[in-house]
Amino acid sequence: MTEPSAKPQQLLAEQLLDVRRLTKQFGALKACDQIDLTIEHGEIHALLGENGAGKSTLVKMLFGSLQPQDGEIFWKGRKVRMSNPAYARKLGIGMVFQHFSLFDSLTAAENIALSLDAGLSLNEVAQKASQIGETYGLPVDTNALVGDLSVGERQRIEIIRCLLQEPELIILDEPTSVLTPQEADKLFITLNRLKSEGKSILYISHRLEEVKQICDRATVLRHGKVVSHCTPSQETAASLARMMVGEDVALVERPKAELQSAERATLLEIDGLSQAPRGPFSTALRNISLNVAAGEVVGIAGVAGNGQSEFFEAVSGELRQDQASTIRIRGQQAGLAGITQRRMLGAGFVPEERLGHGAVPELPLTDNLFLSRYRTDAKMFLKGGWLKIISQSALSSAAKRINAMMDVRKNAENPVAGALSGGNLQKFIIGRELDRNPSVLVVNQPTWGVDAGAAMRIRQALVDLSRQGSAVLVISQDLDELFEICDRIAVMHHGQLSEAMPRDVVTAEKIGLMMGGAV
């Protein structure tokens, strides 16, 4: 590791991108504070940092989506102003966002054509896209509807669309977060091919082992400042995490469950869950059965779009079943019950989408807490006789307790949910459920897009809850996460769920193959 210092004297022409003192401020918050960054021709450069460290703000300025208040950007030695994304693309900068911007009802070729100049016919676009896909190992059916494609195939469309614009610098934001291990390996082959052709890649990821594997250099941000530059291959995942967080990130402690499997009560039972698709791009659930016992964490692996969202909706009560016996919580039939009734039985639920589903962006944290617990904790948060009054002091006390337990970092005493970074909001939402000490907790993508420090805290909290006697069900696309915290792992593919296998006897390779449907 080397600390930030003056740039070495070298010709600007040798550098593809040279960023000097780039600064962006939102109110009193300096999201980026005098950022220096250089990217050479033909290198894969990692951009690392916690949630809220300034990574997204920085790349948005590089891509012209935001304008800096201070600093300079040099492109191939020439000072430029990234006035908008169109100008950035014209210079030779492309970006593949973490959240895909594709229309499900259009074909792959039609989606690609929307981002290109109007001079090409749809057939020409499809032909060029197929050629790019063949050249770089990104096969895709250009005539297929995007809504019918896997997440991996959709990502290929985004990359092909970017490559058709002939960029010299490609910004990739969490590109492997939705891929199987095998798909990720294929993506790395593509990236190394691009690098060998002299193209450069700015690579954002929280998966530090893959950063070590493929990145030549790294710039680390913390609280909007550059805190270090390093060569990832010469570091460990722990040392990279330490640079990001500023202190050692503890490993998740997973003590052995005190009760033997035969002695544990089954707290969540799913028996023959089937569900028709809700729309043309929804996934049908087919005869899913699963039990989760007290004292264990059971994980469900799978590539996004294989029925995980539909499964969560069914288990949480957002979509009720036809028979009460399909779902049992603590022995009570709950298939016909809604979310609140299932919460009253002792269950807790954390959805995948934080804003809009897990929390109302415009409401403060205390109001979001009340909305999810006004029935289950009425005695705590409501006072008075026939005419109930909300106890603001009780809500404030509970929010402070949750924030302290989960280390939720915020810029105000009781900010609106939308003002928190993604990782801090996720910690609050999970803490909101943990504060109830639920007998059953179902969590969908618990650490998606969350930095190493926050992820460790969330994972440890889930393990601790299980070891206190609760049943925890975790739906996740992150295999490292599942192997770190789970006692058993099942795989969901095309709406079907495999048998839950003991984590100690199954391999990541086998899980990855099952996620892709090869086993």
Q: Which residue has the tokens 């984590």?
A: 503
Rounded to the nearest angstrom, the gap between the alpha carbon of residue 478 and the centroid of all alpha carbons in its chain is 9
**Six token digits for residue 218:** 């790294």
Distance CA 382, CA 387 (A): 10
DSSP assignment of 437-499 = --SEEEEESTTTT--HHHHHHHHHHHHHHHHTT-EEEEE-S-HHHHHHH-SEEEEEETTEEPP
- Mean pLDDT (10-residue bins), the chain, 519 residues: 44 77 89 95 94 88 94 95 93 86 90 82 91 88 86 85 92 82 86 94 91 96 94 93 85 74 83 89 91 96 88 95 96 96 96 88 94 89 81 94 90 89 87 95 88 86 95 92 95 95 92 84
CATH 3.40.50.300 in the chain: give the residue spans. Answer: 12-92+167-245, 261-346+438-515
Instruction: Match 């280390």 to its residue by tokens.
Output: 407
Encoded tokens for 356: 């809009």
Provide the pLDDT for residue 148.
81
- Inter-residue contact 414 to 365 (CB < 8 Å): yes
**What is residue 441's predicted lDDT score, i.e. its pLDDT?**
98
Per-residue pLDDT at 8? 41
The two beta strands, 70-75 and 15-26, are antiparallel
Sign of the CA dihedral running 428, 431, 432, 433: positive
CATH architecture of 261-346+438-515: 3-Layer(aba) Sandwich (3.40)
Q: Please provide residue 315's backbone torsions phi and psi, each rounded to the nearest 5 degrees.
A: -70, -35
Q: Can you tell me the distance from the alpha carbon of 81 to that of 294, in angstroms, rounded to the nearest whole number?
A: 58
Give the torsion sign (CA, 435, 439, 444, 448): positive
Burial zone of 393 (CB within 10 Å; 0-12 exposed, 13-18 middle, 19+ buried) = exposed
What pLDDT does residue 516 have? 81
Structure tokens at 390: 């909300």
CA distances from 269 to 126, 290, 315, 326, 343 (A): 48, 6, 10, 8, 15
Alpha carbon distance, N-terminus to C-terminus of the chain? 42
The whole-number pLDDT of residue 247 equals: 82
CATH 3.40.50.2300 fits 12-92+167-245, yes or no: no
> Residue 260: what pLDDT?
57
d(CA 186, CA 276): 33
Q: Whole-prediction pTM value?
A: 0.77
State the pLDDT at residue 39.
97
Distance CA 20, CA 34 (A): 7
Q: Are 167 and 92 in contact (CB under 8 A)?
A: yes
Whole-number CA gyration radius for the chain:
24
Distances in Å between the Cα of 78 and the Cα atoms of 66, 81, 227 are: 20, 10, 26
Asked if 351 contacts 358 with a C-beta cutoff of 8 angstroms, the reply is yes
Please state, in angstroms and rounded to a whole number, the distance separating the CA atoms of residues 98 and 300.
22
Would you state the pLDDT for residue 12?
A: 42
DSSP characters for 190-203?
HHHHHHHTT-EEEE
Task: Tell me how many degrees the CA angle 485-236-250 measures, rounded to the nearest 5.
Answer: 40
CA dist 123 and 113 (Å) reads 10
For residue 258, what pLDDT is reported? Answer: 64
Our measurement of the distance from residue 437's CA atom to the centroid of its chain's CA atoms, rounded to an integer in Å, reads: 25
Q: What is the pLDDT of residue 9?
A: 40
Q: Give pLDDT, residue 221.
A: 95
Go through the chain and tell me how many residues it has: 519
